[in-house]
Amino acid sequence: MSKSFKIIVSTLTVLLLIGVLSSFAFPLSISAEESSAPKNLIPIMTSNDSPLGHTTASSIWASRHQPFNLFNGIKDDAYGWASSQTKPFGWVSYEFDSPVVINQFALWPRSDITQDAYKNETPKDFTFDAWDGDNWILLHSETNVTDWQAHVEKVFSFSNEKSYTKYRLNILNNNGLSGFTALGEMEMYHTVTATPEPTALPTSSPPPIPTNLPTPTPDVSSGDRALLTIELSSGAEKEYDLSMSEVNAFLNWYDSANGSSRYGINKHNNNKGPFSNRTEYVIHDKILTFEVSEYTAQ
């Protein structure tokens, strides 16, 4: 066997092996956009009650336009759901088996919208609502939606963090058709907004501490005792007869504490009853003002 013939056979063997392997266990790559696409939370419905959940509508144009047709997974559906109501133009709903959070939905027109005569059947003004057990809660509204195109979805997003079991599309006006309003398909999603990773701030050295600051002049007390009067945010006023060392200890605590930090003050000769000591506690963020009135004990 010639050398060139061996090379050709080897190349064909490798190509055949690659083809066989690729047809088995290697899935096609999925783009980031496809993998992050929201998932429709409504199963493909085959009737108004199957396979899961329940679909209802305020009215239907004809039996072939049942509400479940709006959730049957056929985005080019010529039938879809159609309402025979006018002003308002009707609603269609889907009820989940258990509460879910919905904050986005998509709508498709019927495939017959390629004919200009059918463009007027699409919703123009509508709301997306949730049922709380007693009332319909407005989650989102749209007005003057006129740019429907064949085979093109319209996606609507809004803020909602609460779970509901039942949601509906409520059509207030269509785009001009007097006989009925229709849509081809509808999907509902729960999208999660990604939280960006925090960016680390650049580190820097603290500024040098000056060494030539003037020496502070010590505060010379004008007495050895003081009345500490504290006014609380509740309007109550507390007064304590204390030594200056106790007052200074309170002042040091007040300057360094915050929030719900508490401080115990000895009530001394204000004791009542057979107690060796009584301590009253004050909370830092409950103190509105305080006053220190110094005096010299006689």
pLDDT in tens, 252-266: 988 888 888 888 888
What gap in Å lies between CA 188 and CA 8, rounded to an integer? Answer: 55
Nearest to 296 by CA among 240, 229, 238, 227: 227
- What is the pLDDT of the chain when averaged over all its residues? 80
What pLDDT is attached to residue 272? 60
- For residue 75, the SS3 value is coil
Q: Is residue 28 packed enough to be buried (19+ CB in 10 Å), middle (13-18) or exposed (0-12)?
A: exposed
Handedness of CA 105, 108, 109, 113 (dihedral sign): positive
pLDDT above 60 for 1: no
292 vs 198, more confident? 292
What pLDDT is attached to residue 262? 87
Most confident among 68-72, 222-226, 254-258 (mean pLDDT): 68-72
- For residue 12, the SS3 value is helix
Mean pLDDT of 212-229: 66
Identify the structural domains of the chain with CATH numbers, from first to last.
36-189 (2.60.120.260), 225-295 (no CATH)
> What is the band of 196 on the pLDDT scale with cuts at 50, 70, 90?
low
Nearest to 58 by CA among 211, 170, 220: 170
> What is the band of 71 on the pLDDT scale with cuts at 50, 70, 90?
very high
Task: At 82, give phi and psi (nearest 5°).
Answer: -135, 135
The percent of residues above 70 in pLDDT, for the chain, comes to 72
What pLDDT is attached to residue 16? 54
Note the pTM of the prediction, 2 decimals.
Answer: 0.55
Residue 292 forms beta bridges with which residues? 228
What gap in Å lies between CA 100 and CA 192, rounded to an integer? Answer: 13
What gap in Å lies between CA 137 and CA 165, rounded to an integer? Answer: 12
Most confident among 74-88, 114-128, 201-215, 248-262 (mean pLDDT): 248-262
